[in-house]
Structures are given as C-alpha cells and as structure tokens.
C-alpha cells in the first residue's frame, strides 16, 4: 500500500486548510478535495497529514500573549499590543520574549533570558488553555479525515509536555495517538500519529 505524508503548517478555518506557500497550498488543496469526498489518490493509498499545532490546530495566541505581557509587567515594562504581539509568535517562547524586549530597546544576558523564559513557562503551563481554542470546524475536519483512514499527526516546536497538556486539555489527544518525540535545537518536537505505528 502506498504511503504519502502531507505537512500542513497553516490555519485550519471553516473552509478547511488554506495552505501557506507552495507546499502548504498543495497540501490544502489535496485535503479540501478529500473532504469534499473526492480522494486524490487510489482507495488503497494511505497518507499521513502532519499538522503544526499553534496557529494551525489551535489558536493559542490569547494565552501566549497574556503570559508574555504578565512577564513584561513583572519587569516594569509596558504590555505589547495584541496585534503587535501576534507578530512575535512563531519562534518559541524564548524568541518571543527576546523580540519583545528588543522592541522596547532592552537587551538582556542569556542568564536573564533563561530566568524570564522559566517564569514564562511556569505561568503558561498553568494557563495553557484559559482562552486557547481549536479553530472553527477543526474537529469535524479531523473526524472526517480519520474516518477516511488518514493518519493524523502533530509536529511542533512547542515543548513536548506543554503540547501534550494542551491537546489533553482541549480533548484533542484522541485524534493523535503517541508515535514518537523528536529533538530540535531548542525545544523538543512532538510527533503524534493516529495509528501509533513505529517509524523512522
């Protein structure tokens, strides 16, 4: 049986998967065709759809930004406007903090950044889903994909234990049975597959 993997690193709104860039757009088109009941491949073809987590499956910006502004406030710094703060998301919490500080004209040592990062993670972990929610129509789309036998996976630069906590809290874990965790240069990556089969 053929096996294909599609990365999806774009938001999943009600229209189902609008791709980002050429590769993302291609994945989005194929997923939309599948969801309309016209699979693009033979019925004996299996493929895995790999989703990013933050900003693709779940809108996590509200809790990330709230935590960032709390940490800045503790340092006597003004909060970052919501829309401006959204632009800081995407390079991990440490990068988000560093960019916010630089925007305020403040450079900090690695040790100081480590301290702020630790404080960020402590607070964020306790408030990971206060306002974070799956995007509209997400679960219906995942139900349809899983029902068609597609393997679903998540790959993210979010710390693994935070990713698991977020998925558990929002009751999305059922779509993604643990497969393996991978290591990145900064944060651990989480890869979860619906069938739990071993892979390289």
Catalytic residue annotation: 52
Quick one: which of 39, 94, 103 has its CA closest to 68? 94
d(CA 50, CA 60): 18
| Half-sphere exposure in the Cβ direction for 101 (13 Å, CA) | 20
Encoded tokens for 180: 């393996």
Which residues are CB-contacts of 12 (< 8 A; sequence separation ≥ 6)? 51, 56, 57, 135, 137, 138, 141
Q: Beta 58-59 vs 188-193: how paired, if at all?
A: unpaired
Q: Is 190 left (phi over 0), alpha (psi -120 to 50) or beta?
A: beta
């Amino acid at each position: 049986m053929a096996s294909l993997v599609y990365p999806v690193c774009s938001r999943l709104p009600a229209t189902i998967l609008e791709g980002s860039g050429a590769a993302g757009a291609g994945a989005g088109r194929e997923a939309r065709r599948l969801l309309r009941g016209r699979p693009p491949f033979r019925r004996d073809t299996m493929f895995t759809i790999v989703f990013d987590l933050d900003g693709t499956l779940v809108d996590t910006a509200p809790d990330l930004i709230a935590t960032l502004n709390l940490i800045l406030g503790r340092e006597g710094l003004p909060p970052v406007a919501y829309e401006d703060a959204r632009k800081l998301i995407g390079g991990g919490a440490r990068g988000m903090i560093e960019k916010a500080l630089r925007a305020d004209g403040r450079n900090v040592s690695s040790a100081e950044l480590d301290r702020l990062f630790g404080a960020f993670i402590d607070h964020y972990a306790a408030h990971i889903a206060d306002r974070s929610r799956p995007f509209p129509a997400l679960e219906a789309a995942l139900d349809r994909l899983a029902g068609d036998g597609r393997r679903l996976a998540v790959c993210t630069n979010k710390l693994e234990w935070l990713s698991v906590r977020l998925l558990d809290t929002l009751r999305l874990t059922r779509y993604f049975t643990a497969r393996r965790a991978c290591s990145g240069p900064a944060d651990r990556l989480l890869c979860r597959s619906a069938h739990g089969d071993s892979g390289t």
